[in-house]
Amino acid sequence: QIKEADRPAYVNGLIAARDLGFERLEQGANAIEASLAAVVQMENNPRAFNAGTGASPNRDGIVECDAAVMAGHDGSAGAVAAVTAAQNPVLLAEKVRRESPHVLLVGAGADALATDKIDNRKLLTERSRQALKRWREKKQGPVGSATVGAVALDANGNLAAATSTGGVLGKWPGRVGDSPLLGAGTYANRQIAVSCTGKGEAFIRAVSAKDLACRLRAGESLVEAAKAVLEQIIAFDGSGGLIAITAQGQVCVGFNTPNMAYAWKSAGHEAAAIGLEPEIICF
């Protein structure tokens, strides 16, 4: 649930990220560069989102971030999990994609590659401190919120997906969610790019992002495919949402959480909103 008072910050943050990514595309950037620019913008936003600065801390009050990036045209990908010292975890994921012989690095090994090292306490904002305090008082289970993701289609028809998150508030130290797991929370191929948010455990078990891609390949419409993927999340005792874009430029936003903030832009159309009822929108 995005609190009423927080909604303007979320929508404005999304518009800023979307416009930056789109501007990069107009300047000739590829889909990877555009999706990274949008995600970095959201990671750096201290007033909104559960990623980078302001990411949800674990139960010990430490911010452990997960992020991934994947290029659809060649399937190249990089991801990091449980990183504590990177200002922009998604750029660390990009470093893994571009510079390492690996796909996923975790913890200290990933942090060691960060060139944007930051004291973990600087990632904790007053908002996230308060959220952790309330969470401790209520003694509830880990709570998800406001993971950030971007999907992009560039002028050459290439797709990319990027996702970044602090995971779920109050998680056990070392817990890894769906976002850095390719096929679960992040996925791109030549047909579609997908980024998910919600209860990571359900998205991992359902291998949701890849399931969406497979359903599309099998001939389902984007709406049908998104509906089936989100139903599976409910079957696995979760809720959440996804954003996707196809090689034809079809955009999909779907969620079965109480609300989800989203924004998109194409040459002829743009939108930015906080959906207040579960829905699937394909445009």
Three-class SS of residue 23? Answer: helix
Q: Is 105 exposed, middle or buried (0-12, 13-18, 19+ CB in 10 A)?
A: buried
Task: List CB contacts of 145: < 8 A, sequence separation 6 or more.
Answer: 1, 2, 50, 56, 168, 169
The strand pair at 65-71 and 192-198 is best described as unpaired
Q: Is there a catalytic annotation at residue 125?
A: no
Closest CB 131 distance from ligand ASP, rounded Å: 12
Comparing CB distances to ligand ASP, the nearer of 56 and 158 is 56
> Of these residues, 53, 84, 115, 147, which one is catalytic?
147
Comparing CB distances to ligand ASP, the nearer of 45 and 147 is 147
Q: Is 260 exposed, middle or buried (0-12, 13-18, 19+ CB in 10 A)?
A: buried
- Asked if 228 contacts 255 with a C-beta cutoff of 8 angstroms, the reply is no
The strand pair at 104-106 and 77-83 is best described as parallel
Closest CB 178 distance from ligand ASP, rounded Å: 5
Separation of alpha carbons 152 and 165, rounded Å: 18
Closest CB 177 distance from ligand ASP, rounded Å: 2
Comparing CB distances to ligand ASP, the nearer of 21 and 180 is 180
Comparing CB distances to ligand ASP, the nearer of 11 and 29 is 11
Comparing CB distances to ligand ASP, the nearer of 30 and 58 is 58
Task: List CB contacts of 42: < 8 A, sequence separation 6 or more.
Answer: 13, 14, 17, 48, 49, 51, 52, 148, 150, 164
∠ CA(155), CA(160), CA(165), 5° rounding? 140
Kindly list the residues in this chain that would bind ligand ASP in the complex (CB under 6 A): 144-145, 147, 165, 167-168, 177-179, 185, 197-200
Closest CB 30 distance from ligand ASP, rounded Å: 26
Closest CB 203 distance from ligand ASP, rounded Å: 6
Residue 125, CB-side half-sphere exposure with 13 Å CA sphere: 17
Residues with catalytic function: 147
